């Protein structure tokens, strides 16, 4: 982190805001804010930490983790090469730097993301490091501050990067439970899976001047709506106007504001001694004997399908994507008719909307009352349009949240049916806080005191899917897919063009057998030959059997134990977990 002598051409830099030629030392003295126009230039994590904390108080936390390339990802370059290049160019081990320090004399734990490192993307190591920082905050009984700068989840780590949204969120939930303040500071840019989890499900959200934050990036939204975006869209002032952040703060005021907030949070709670730090015993030891075998057992390997299953040979990942999107594939409403009885639909988020892309309500499964929530697509173009192609709005996520909480109060298990290309990437969705809506669902599911069973029935599209899929057991229909990004989206970013979608589909490891091996999915529900759309009745029969086999053991587990086991399930996706290495080669 020590600066070497700078070459002459780096003595000056040109402001991106006003094009003034600025003397670098003068710019740095001004906290990298242009003295001419006020443009806030992006900061690396080391410089950000230096600016935020009291001099002499910084203690960096360990940042070295075993090399992680959990799905052996290769696009035009192997992921390992991209990682090495990022390490060399930034001098950092990963896209986050974590520390303890004081700010205005107030102790805190901090995790600061660095956009220069692979776009600040959230992979297993980043998730693990932020989670450990949150756990350190819990042990030390100090507030947690997260400074975000990220393009989203790291697609080179597939669905495992998506899981990090849940892992970090549940660590934040643990701080909420004991009344420790969590603060996120949005810096430019903060998007995707980071925006839709720990950047927005903290107690307080501050936006630095010049920051932009959103669930969908401007390029994606422009593509979808086919026109230019309004002036100032997704900027800090936009976020403030739409109620999504507590304040917009100039860089020079950030430290003072944080100090004041930390002081208020400290004044409001009696001093409690920190918990002595020690490595926790593995959960399986602590919970031994208390867990029903079917719950503790983990996932069923893909080879262990029922003997009568006439499953054809493994098909290509791109073929599977096409099957998962087949217009004849049964929808959530089809399953509510065929698998469940007595469905009573419940509408509305109680905040001003009812999203047609999410359906939910009470139903019976083999005589047992359950709350069912799922994405709804359709079989005809008219259906699809009416249901927004199964892409939920913030109102849809908030309706789902309301029904989850209602189920917990009533003691009903929750069954979710996931089939979405992704959350709605529109202007209105961003105005209404799409990222925060998804983030709150993810966090709430990590602590929901009732059984939760999720089934990926068709397309499990990124954060929109995870918003319904943080569950005790995650099942997946044989020809469904579950991915951090669509193959087309991944191809557009990492390959020369979108026509590489079939290669991207293979590289992303988005099929049920892949995800079962990675532990993201616990069990595969076999489909009849050739696929669900050929025999919906048989598909429904198999789904019903799988739901019952997985739900019944959960009903006997006390709610507190369920929550502990669910947290354990999502905690194991960190970069150092042995399971992460056990991938198809
Ligand atoms: Zn300027």
Of 176-185, 250-259, 308-317, 420-429, give the lowest mean pLDDT range: 308-317
CA 82, chain centre distance (Å)? 22
21 alpha carbon – ligand 1 mean position (Å): 8
Q: What's the rounded mean pLDDT across residues 520-549? A: 97
pLDDT in tens, 378-427: 999 999 999 999 999 999 999 999 999 999 999 999 999 999 999 999 99
Q: Which residues contact 90 (CB under 8 A, 6 or more apart)?
A: 44, 114, 116, 117
482 alpha carbon – ligand 1 mean position (Å): 44
Instruction: Give me the percent of the chain exceeding a pLDDT of 90.
Output: 84
Q: In angstroms, rounded to a whole number, what is the distance separating the alpha carbons of residues 437 and 196?
A: 8
Q: Which residues contact 137 (CB under 8 A, 6 or more apart)?
A: 108, 109, 143, 144, 175, 180
Q: What residues pack around ion ligand 1 (CB closer than 5 A)?
A: 15, 17-18, 20, 34, 36-37, 39
Q: In angstroms, rounded to a whole number, what is the distance separating the alpha carbons of residues 18 and 179?
A: 44
pLDDT of residue 8: 55
pTM listed for this prediction: 0.91
The pLDDT confidence band at residue 270, using thresholds 50, 70 and 90, is: low
319 alpha carbon – ligand 1 mean position (Å): 51
Q: In angstroms, rounded to a whole number, what is the distance separating the alpha carbons of residues 468 and 400?
A: 8
pLDDT of residue 267: 83
33 alpha carbon – ligand 1 mean position (Å): 8
The rounded radius of gyration (Å) of the Cα atoms in the chain is: 24
74 alpha carbon – ligand 1 mean position (Å): 39
Instruction: State the maximum Cα–Cα separation within the chain, in Å, rounded to a whole number.
Output: 77
């Amino acid at each position: 982190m020590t600066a070497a002598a700078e070459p002459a051409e780096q003595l000056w830099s040109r402001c991106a805001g006003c094009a003034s030629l600025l003397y670098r030392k003068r710019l740095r003295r001004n906290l990298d804010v242009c003295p001419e126009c006020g443009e806030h230039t992006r900061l690396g994590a080391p410089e950000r930490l230096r600016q935020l904390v009291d001099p002499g108080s910084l203690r960096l936390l360990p940042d070295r983790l075993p090399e992680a390339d959990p799905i052996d990802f290769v696009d035009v370059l192997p992921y390992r090469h991209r990682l090495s290049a990022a390490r060399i160019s930034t001098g950092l081990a990963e896209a986050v730097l974590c520390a303890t320090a004081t700010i205005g004399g107030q102790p805190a734990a901090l995790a600061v993301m660095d956009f220069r490192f692979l776009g600040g993307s959230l992979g297993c190591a980043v998730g693990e490091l932020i989670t450990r920082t949150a756990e350190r905050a819990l042990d030390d009984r100090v507030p947690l501050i997260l400074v975000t700068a990220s393009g989203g989840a790291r697609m080179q780590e597939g669905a495992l990067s998506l899981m990090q949204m849940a892992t970090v969120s549940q660590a934040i939930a643990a701080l909420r439970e004991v009344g420790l303040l969590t603060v996120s500071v949005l810096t430019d840019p903060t998007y995707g899976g980071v925006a839709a989890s720990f950047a927005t499900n903290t107690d307080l959200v501050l936006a630095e001047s010049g920051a932009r934050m959103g669930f969908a990036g401007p390029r994606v939204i422009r593509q979808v709506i086919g026109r230019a975006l309004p002036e100032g869209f997704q900027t800090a002032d936009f976020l403030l106007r739409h109620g999504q952040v507590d304040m917009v703060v100039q860089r020079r005021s950030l430290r003072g504001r944080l100090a004041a907030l930390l002081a208020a949070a400290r004044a409001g709670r009696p001093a409690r001694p920190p918990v002595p730090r020690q490595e926790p015993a593995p959960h399986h030891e602590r919970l031994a004997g208390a867990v029903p075998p079917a719950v503790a057992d983990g996932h069923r390997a893909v080879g262990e399908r029922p003997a009568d299953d006439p499953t054809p040979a493994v098909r290509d990942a791109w073929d599977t994507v096409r099957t998962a999107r087949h217009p004849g594939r049964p929808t959530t409403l089809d399953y509510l008719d065929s698998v469940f009885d007595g469905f009573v639909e419940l509408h509305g988020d109680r905040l001003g909307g009812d999203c047609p892309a999410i359906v939910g309500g009470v139903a019976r499964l083999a005589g047992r009352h359950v709350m069912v929530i799922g994405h709804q697509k359709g079989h005809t173009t008219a259906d699809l349009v009416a249901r927004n192609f199964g892409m939920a709005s913030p109102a849809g996520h908030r309706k789902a949240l309301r029904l989850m909480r209602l189920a917990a109060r009533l003691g009903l298990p929750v069954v979710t049916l996931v089939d979405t290309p992704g959350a709605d990437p529109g202007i209105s969705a961003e105005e209404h806080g799409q990222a925060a809506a998804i983030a709150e669902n993810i966090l709430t599911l990590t602590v929901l005191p009732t059984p939760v069973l999720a089934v990926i029935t068709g397309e499990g599209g990124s954060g929109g899917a995870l918003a319904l899929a943080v569950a005790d057991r995650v099942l997946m229909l044989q020809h469904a897919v579950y991915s951090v990004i669509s193959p087309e989206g991944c191809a557009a970013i990492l390959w020369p063009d979108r026509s590489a979608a079939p290669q991207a589909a293979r590289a992303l490891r988005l099929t049920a057998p892949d995800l079962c091996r990675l532990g993201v999915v616990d069990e595969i529900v076999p489909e009849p030959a050739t696929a669900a759309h050929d025999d919906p009745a048989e598909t429904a029969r198999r789904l019903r059997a799988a739901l019952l086999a997985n739900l019944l053991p959960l009903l006997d587990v006390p709610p507190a134990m369920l929550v502990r086991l669910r947290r354990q399930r999502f905690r194991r996706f960190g970069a150092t977990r042995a399971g992460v290495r056990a991938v198809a080669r």
